[in-house]
């Protein structure tokens, strides 16, 4: 990695996040996933940011296994709280993975207070709304030693 080079970062979104902006806007905001993705591209023009969303656990695992990105930003949605399989995929990948949640999961139902993924992630950003994606990209770039 060299300063000023272009980083490759993959943003993965899990189940139901394809519905962003259409309902539960008090919790998740009014932006659609496409708008969030467009904003990430616009805000980090020097870097290659790619995107993947799936409602299927195995597809999220395939995306982690197959990526050639240098870092992953992951909002695994509800699988955050249940998926040993996604945790194992993150651990096996040896990639820096930054976990993101739009909402403040600590301020919600107790079943959302535990993330099975956090212990194998580089770090976690939650509670800052959809700005969390941009913050996670900054965190990934810093981890990798890139300028932004
Ligand atoms: O706050 C987050 O980003 C979450 O990862 C969102 C998940 C939830 O299960 C996690 O506990 C926290 C749920 C995503 C559901 O997304 C929707 C978006 C719009 C409308 C309905 C659901």
Residue 46: the pLDDT is 96
Which atom of ligand 1 is closest in space to residue 24's alpha carbon? 20
Query: Is the domain 8-144 a CATH 3.40.50.300 member?
Result: no
DSSP-based three-state secondary structure for 15 = coil
| Domain segments of the chain as ranges | 8-144
- The answer to whether 123 touches 140, Cβ cutoff 8 Å, is no
Q: What is the pLDDT of residues 43-101, one digit of tens each?
A: 999 999 999 999 999 999 999 999 999 999 999 999 999 999 999 999 999 999 999 99
Give the Å distance between the CA of 57 and the centre of ligand 1.
Answer: 15
- Look at residue 3 and tell me whether its pLDDT is greater than 70: no
Q: What is the pLDDT of residues 87-144, one digit of tens each?
A: 999 999 999 999 999 999 999 999 999 999 999 999 999 999 999 999 999 999 999 9
Task: State the CB neighbour count (10 A cutoff) for residue 27.
Answer: 11
133 part of the active site: no
Among 47, 79, 101, 146, the active-site one is 101
Question: pLDDT-derived band of residue 148, with 50, 70 and 90 as boundaries?
Answer: confident
Alpha-carbon span 120 to 118, nearest angstrom: 5
101 part of the active site: yes
CA 53 to chain centre: 10
Q: Which residues line ligand 1 (CB under 6 A)?
A: 16-17, 19-20, 23-24, 28, 75, 77-78, 80, 101-103, 105, 112
pTM of structure: 0.97
DSSP letters spanning 18-48: GGTTTS-HHHH-S--HHHHHHHHHHH-TTSE
């Amino acid at each position: 990695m060299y300063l000023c080079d272009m980083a490759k970062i993959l943003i993965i979104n899990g189940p139901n996040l394809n519905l962003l902006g259409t309902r539960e806007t008090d919790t998740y905001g009014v932006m659609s996933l496409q708008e969030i993705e467009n904003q990430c591209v616009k805000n980090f023009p020097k870097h290659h940011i790619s995107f993947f969303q799936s409602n299927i656990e195995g597809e999220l695992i395939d995306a982690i296994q197959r990526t050639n990105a240098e870092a992953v930003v992951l909002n695994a949605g509800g699988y955050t709280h249940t998926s040993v399989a996604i945790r194992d995929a993150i651990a096996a990948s040896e990639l820096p993975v930054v976990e993101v949640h739009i909402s403040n999961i600590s301020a919600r139902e107790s079943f959302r207070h535990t993330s099975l993924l956090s212990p194998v992630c580089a770090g976690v950003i939650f509670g800052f709304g959809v700005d969390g994606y941009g913050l996670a990209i900054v965190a990934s770039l810093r981890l990798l030693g890139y300028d932004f």
